[in-house]
């Protein structure tokens, strides 16, 4: 099964993708994570992407579509894919069609996380992750069980993203409204879009997504 999680910054795409990976053994393909890894490694892609990401704007369609194609090739056909943060433009949606077809895959579901944008700045600016294993946490909504210690790996170092400040989040939201939300009709016309209340408790969101995938 191949699915897209769609929603603005802070909608819960990464949170829900991680849960589906754990529960269903699918693979998370997050272009944001891939780009951050490229920035950290100082690759040509990372050098091209760094300033764009810090401004909250979109990296070029060619770069992200190439990353997705490479990742699908590396993971093999047997695992289902969760596209998290991709596609984000009409050009990327068109590329994804070709990328999947070339690899004998098809898209089964597009799950739109329906959220109140006013609550998202708080979600994004309060977010932090374990520096060792990448597990996600939040100052208010998802603290580690033992303060200062990662629930999953016991790590004690945490980090925050440089683009998780209020000003950049607003630019990212504007980019979502202008370039990403308009791709929904492309998938609605194929009858594969389901809307989930992304403002519900995280467990309820997961259950709603699992119901859709089981349908």
- Choose the catalytic residue: 36, 50, 123, 127: 127
Among 3, 6, 12, 50, binds ligand AP5 (CB under 6 A): 12
Its sign, for the CA torsion 97, 100, 105, 107, is: negative
Return left, alpha or beta for 195; rule: phi > 0 is left, psi -120 to 50 is alpha, else beta.
beta
Instruction: Compare residues 7 and 144 and give the one whose CB is closer to ligand AP5.
Output: 7
As a whole number of angstroms, the distance between CA 158 and CA 127 comes to 10
> What tokens does 30 get?
């997050």
Among 27, 50, 88, 109, binds ligand AP5 (CB under 6 A): 88
Instruction: Compute the least distance from the CB of residue 189 to ligand AP5, in Å.
Output: 21
Footprint on residues 34-63 left by ligand AP5 (CB under 6 A): 35, 52-53, 56-59
Its sign, for the CA torsion 73, 75, 79, 85, is: negative
Contact between 208 and ligand AP5 by CB under 6 A: the answer reads no
Is 88 among the residues known to form the active site?
yes
Instruction: Compute the least distance from the CB of residue 37 to ligand AP5, in Å.
Output: 11
As a whole number of angstroms, the distance between CA 108 and CA 44 comes to 33
Which residue from 7, 67, 65, 20 is spatially nearest to 39, judged by alpha carbons?
67
Footprint on residues 95-134 left by ligand AP5 (CB under 6 A): 123-124, 127
Measuring CA to CA, how many Å separate 116 from each of 49, 122, 161?
A: 28, 11, 22
Is 190 among the residues known to form the active site?
no
DSSP assignments along 1-20, one per residue: -EEEEE-STTSSHHHHHHHH
Contact between 85 and ligand AP5 by CB under 6 A: the answer reads yes
- Choose the catalytic residue: 55, 161, 179, 195: 161
Binding site for ligand AP5 (CB under 6 A): 7, 9-15, 31-32, 35, 52-53, 56-59, 64, 85-86, 88, 92, 123-124, 127, 136, 138, 141-142, 163, 172, 198, 202, 205
Query: Residues with catalytic annotation?
Result: 13, 88, 127, 161, 172
């Amino acid at each position: 099964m191949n699915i897209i999680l769609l929603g603005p910054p802070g909608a819960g795409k990464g949170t829900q993708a991680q849960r589906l990976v754990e529960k269903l053994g699918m693979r998370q393909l997050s272009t944001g994570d891939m780009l951050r890894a490229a920035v950290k490694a100082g690759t040509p892609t990372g050098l091209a992407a760094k300033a764009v990401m810090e401004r909250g704007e979109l990296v070029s369609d060619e770069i992200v579509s190439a990353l997705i194609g490479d990742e699908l090739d590396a993971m093999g056909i047997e695992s289902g894919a969760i596209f998290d943060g991709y596609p984000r433009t009409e050009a990327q949606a068109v590329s994804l069609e070709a990328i999947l077809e070339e690899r004998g895959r098809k898209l089964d579901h597009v799950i739109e996380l329906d959220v109140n944008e006013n609550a998202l700045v708080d979600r994004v600016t309060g977010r932090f992750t374990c520096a060792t294993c990448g597990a996600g946490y939040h100052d208010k909504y998802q603290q580690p069980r033992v303060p200062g210690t990662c629930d999953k790996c016991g790590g004690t170092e945490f980090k925050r993203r440089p683009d998780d400040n209020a000003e950049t989040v607003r630019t990212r939201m504007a980019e979502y409204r202008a370039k990403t939300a308009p791709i929904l009709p492309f998938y609605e016309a194929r009858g594969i879009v389901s809307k989930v209340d992304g403002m519900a408790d995280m467990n309820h969101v997961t259950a709603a997504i699992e119901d859709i995938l089981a349908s």
